[in-house]
Amino acid sequence: MHETRRIESRAPAVAARAVAGRTLAARAGVGEAVVVRAVARRAVAAWLVAAWLPGLAAAPAQAQEPVDLLLHNGRVFTADELLSTYSAVAVRDGRIVALGWNELTDRYRAARTIDLAGRLALPGFVDTHVHMRGNPERWIDLAGLESLAELKARVTRKAEQLGAGEWITGYGWSEDELAEQRRPFRQDLDDAAPANPVILTRAGGHSSVASSLALDAAGLTPETETPPGGIIEVDEQGRVNGILREGAQGLVSRLVPDPTPDELRASFVENLRDLLRLGVTSIIHAGVDIAGYAAWEAVYAEHAGEVPRAAVQLRVPPDPARAIAMLDRFRRRTGDGDEWLRVGPMKFFVDGGYTGAAAWTLEPYKGQPDYYGSGPLIDEAGLMEISRAAHDRGWQMGFHTIGDAAIAMTVDVWARMLEESPRADHRHYLNHFTVRPPAETMRKMATWNIHIAQQPNFTYTLEGRYAEHLEGERYATNNPLRSPMRHGVFVALGSDILPIGPMVGLQAAVTRQGMSGAVVGPGEALTMPEAIVGYTRLAAHLTFEEEEKGSLEVGKLADLVVLSQDLLTIDPARTMETEVDLTVLGGRVVYER
């Protein structure tokens, strides 16, 4: 009778809830029509159930229905349009069959029952921007290092393992995390591995440091011509210091011998599985070529159900003719695939990033009155040619735009394209959106339904880079959230692996704290429910899968996580202390802490 009374009491309040839904739409970046449709669907269901459930209660007791999984006695935050909360959820054949209260334990007989013991359950996190690959034997993990001494020690150990003359690569160092508060230079790598060519990529991927042997192998000098946007740094004496930014990295990295597929395969699968430990059940992988997509298909043919669901972006080259030829050669487009692996948006780089630093900006960098970044990486005519070709072929586009100049140019091009070639529900979006563009650009984005895949964790992890290169309002509003939403722009969340753990992004989105603890631009902060929705339901919308996943609703895929702390009640500044206790993917428990 408790369930009957709950449904009956909610049915007469449909009109009020529709109004509340419109308010949520404005706050969470969802169209009003979507919310009203959802409210209407739920209202019809509520009246139907209210009509027959009292009679059912008077009937003889029914046998318990079998289900595969039942979670109860907790707080189940659904992230649906109404931010509904329950205490129990039942799963059968990979999908949610019921949400309710602890009475579900009487209604269903489960193959496995989990007592949440008051813990919070959420939809699995959907990360809108990651980079996943296998690790060659020559590769070193440099994430989380606290000193240059540690970095050099790891390089030395790898040199001893591989032997003289072998290339050494690695990823993940950040000067902001090192005690010395500086970048490694060529001399540091020469000290660590004098007999090996070495190139180590900074976290974020927009710059690298190379050793003298590596630079010499590539024949690099201060006069070497670089690809558009590429920079070869020099020291005070005009000598190459080892730092390579953006496209200049490829001048050295192209010399590194390719690993074998077998060498990469096992670690690639393991790296994907590790995402489940973080509660990430779906991802958008940010860019492969045609051969790279075939490698993903091979992995998912064998391991679907063991690794997160994935939408994989096709990355095209900056030359319009080559980009269009690649699209035609691929013979597929956004959405092709199944619930485990599908083709994602087309990816293109309009500018560089701040770890370079090379983002293309409307105003000069702080303390560098003549430097506006190293963009654009393509002119307006070329950007229109590539965009129009993809759009007219039915592709969704997710372009890399970090600086406000890159954002403004891309929006202007896309607005003209959409006016000339309208397409309903295209869901084109900008990746990153780090430097807030003029209000007119955001209004144009809302008009033409151009979305954002934002990384709030950048505000935390890249605090030092922004403090060095931005100032005033541009610094305070880095990686904006609230202001584009106020202009009616759709904003979904992700990580770009800096780091990939969703707790960093959630904490930064709600607190706007950097690594130092300083709060930057509190007016851009979200509430915790909004941040969770941005990392789940709205992120699923970005891949056209919001009817299948992203929220816990009857009929949707049973992808969910159980957390060690209730994010909805704790101090948001403690979010990063939260552990993932349990991850469920397609109704199967795939990770338990």
pLDDT at residue 264, as a whole number? 87
pTM of the model: 0.83
Predicted confidence at residue 147, as pLDDT, reads 96
Both tokens of 389, joined, read: 């070709």
**What is the model's pLDDT at position 590?**
98
Architecture of 2-125 per CATH? Roll (2.30)
- The residues, ordered by sequence, that sit 6+ positions from 332 with a Cβ below 8 Å of its Cβ are 343
Neighbours of 291 (CB within 10 A): 7
Q: Which two tokens stand for residue 524?
A: 């851009």
Asked whether the beta carbons of 548 and 486 are under 8 A apart, the reply is no
Give the class (CATH, top level) of 348-526: alpha beta
> Are residues 580 and 591 in contact, defined by beta-carbon separation less than 8 angstroms?
yes
Residue labelled with tokens 């949610």: 96
Alpha-carbon gap, residue 512 to 508, rounded angstroms: 5
Residues for the chain: how many in total? 593
Distance CA 506, CA 527 (A): 9
The CATH fold of domain 137-253:
Diaminopimelate Epimerase; Chain A, domain 1 (3.10.310)
Distance between CA 357 and CA 441 in Å, rounded? 23
- Residue 399: strand pairing partners: 430
What pLDDT is attached to residue 24?
36
pLDDT averaged per 10 residues, the chain (length 593): 32 35 40 43 43 40 89 98 98 98 96 98 98 93 93 96 96 92 95 97 91 96 90 93 93 93 88 97 96 95 97 96 97 96 97 87 95 91 98 98 98 98 97 97 98 97 94 96 98 95 98 96 98 98 98 98 98 98 98 96
Instruction: Name residue 114's beta-bridge partners.
Output: 71
Domain ranges of the chain: 2-125, 137-253, 348-526
Secondary element (H or E) of residue 267: helix 261-277
Residue 56 pLDDT:
38
